[in-house]
């Protein structure tokens, strides 16, 4: 029997769904004990105690949603285990009033190595996301003989949670075509120029495969390419970004930039007349800051997920390489954290940021609720 994929949601369907949602405000979640998402989800390193504690902290500071990446290799080698751990994770998040936006595929392999099943290496000292690996891996994306297994993975996860109210939305593919590597010496370089065409095709297949399933949640892939600082070209004008926006039920984007650029990008995307979420942002030393931009997103009911919660093994408190920061308007501020909100003991890096989050979400911290 040949299945007919459901069409993209209409504007009316997308906006009707959005009308009954609380404004989503949260973070991209990787526990501080994991160097990458492969380490997070492997049975041997799935750290329930840390995950539960840090999800509680997310709620304590006022968040109501999180975005987190699964990893294909964990499903390939331990399908039942991944499903069980993901179910536990959804329950732990829900206990604290956090909805979840899972990410199924990801081209961001900033660490430079292809993902390898097994124990993950320790981080390179001082290097941002030094062990980040893609899912399923850039080389695997370009091997179309593997794509039937990618379909099986995606549909297996989606079928298990097709009507799960704990799932806010499905982010099918993080930054398709991203081929940057953050080198250990602090620089970065481009990698695999052939990747973009394969990534675009895989993204299109992901939407088609997902729409063979009767899902209650919307589908999205974020547009993420913005022009260099000072250039007036439209953002998100790359063919992969244009296709992501055309296929998504709800609009999502990434923008590490100052307030003026954030306002410009948001105006461009609101022309789609669909719900909008920014699923990656907040990098202090390039002036992507909570104090001014989170109120902007709140005022326009744009769901917002900053990068990072607790300082940890991914070292995303450390800066991007200077070459990449320069593209986004680097400001030299010694010892200032790039991403992340909390120290490993739960203390706020900047209490004023936490006040903004709590004020805008209006959430009573879970710890206060329990004491009350």
Q: Residues 239, 269: contact at Cβ < 8 Å?
A: no
pLDDT at 17: 98
The span from the CA of 222 to the CA of 203, in Å, is 11
Looking at residue 20, the DSSP 8-state letter turns out to be T
pLDDT at 371: 29
State the angle between helix axes of 48-60 and 79-95 in degrees (0 to 180), rounded to the nearest 10: 30
Count CA atoms within 13 Å of residue 2 on its CB side: 1
**pLDDT in 10s for each residue of the chain, 372 residues:** 455 778 999 999 999 999 999 999 999 999 999 999 999 999 999 999 999 999 999 999 999 999 999 999 999 999 999 999 999 999 999 999 999 999 999 999 988 899 999 999 999 999 999 999 999 999 999 999 999 999 999 999 999 999 999 999 999 999 999 988 776 655 666 656 788 899 999 999 999 999 999 999 999 999 999 988 777 788 999 999 999 999 999 999 999 999 999 999 999 999 999 999 999 999 999 999 999 999 999 999 999 999 999 999 999 999 988 777 877 877 777 789 999 999 999 999 999 999 999 999 997 554 443 322
Q: Residues 215, 158: contact at Cβ < 8 Å?
A: yes
Count CA atoms within 13 Å of residue 286 on its CB side: 26
Q: Which residues contact 300 (CB under 8 A, 6 or more apart)?
A: 266, 270, 276
The full set of domains in the chain, from first to last, is 25-367 (3.20.20.80)
């Amino acid at each position: 029997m040949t299945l007919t994929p459901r069409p993209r949601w209409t504007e009316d369907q997308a906006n009707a769904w959005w009308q009954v949602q609380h404004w989503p405000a949260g973070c991209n979640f990787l526990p501080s004990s994991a160097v990458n998402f492969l380490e997070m989800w492997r049975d041997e390193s799935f750290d329930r105690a840390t995950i539960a504690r840090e999800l509680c902290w997310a709620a304590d500071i006022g968040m109501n949603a999180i975005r987190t990446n699964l990893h294909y290799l964990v499903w390939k080698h331990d399908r039942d285990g991944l499903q069980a751990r993901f179910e536990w994770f959804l329950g732990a998040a829900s206990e604290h009033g956090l909805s979840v936006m899972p990410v199924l595929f990801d081209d961001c392999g900033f660490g430079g190595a292809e993902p390898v099943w097994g124990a993950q290496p320790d981080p390179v000292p001082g290097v941002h996301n030094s062990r980040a690996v893609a899912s399923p891996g850039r080389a695997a994306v370009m091997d179309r003989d593997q794509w039937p297994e990618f379909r099986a993975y995606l549909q297996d996860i989606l079928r298990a949670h097709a009507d799960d109210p704990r799932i806010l939305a499905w982010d099918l593919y993080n930054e398709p075509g991203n081929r940057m590597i953050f080198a250990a010496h602090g620089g970065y370089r481009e990698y695999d120029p052939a990747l973009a065409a394969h990534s675009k095709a895989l993204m299109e297949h992901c939407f088609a495969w997902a729409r063979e399933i009767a899902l209650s949640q919307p589908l999205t892939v974020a547009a993420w390419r913005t022009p260099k600082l000072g250039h007036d070209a439209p953002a998100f004008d790359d063919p992969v970004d244009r296709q992501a926006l055309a296929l998504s039920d709800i609009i999502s984007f990434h923008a590490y930039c100052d307030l003026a650029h954030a306002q410009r990008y948001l105006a461009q995307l609101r022309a789609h007349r669909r719900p909008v979420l920014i699923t990656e942002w907040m990098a202090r030393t390039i002036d992507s800051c909570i104090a001014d931009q989170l109120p902007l997103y709140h005022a326009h009911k744009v769901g917002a997920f900053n990068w990072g919660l607790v300082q940890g093994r991914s070292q995303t408190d450390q800066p991007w390489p200077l070459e990449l920061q320069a593209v986004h308007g680097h400001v030299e501020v010694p010892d200032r954290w790039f991403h992340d909100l909390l120290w490993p003991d739960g203390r706020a890096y900047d209490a004023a940021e936490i006040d903004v989050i709590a004020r805008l979400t209006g959430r009573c911290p879970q710890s206060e609720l329990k004491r009350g």
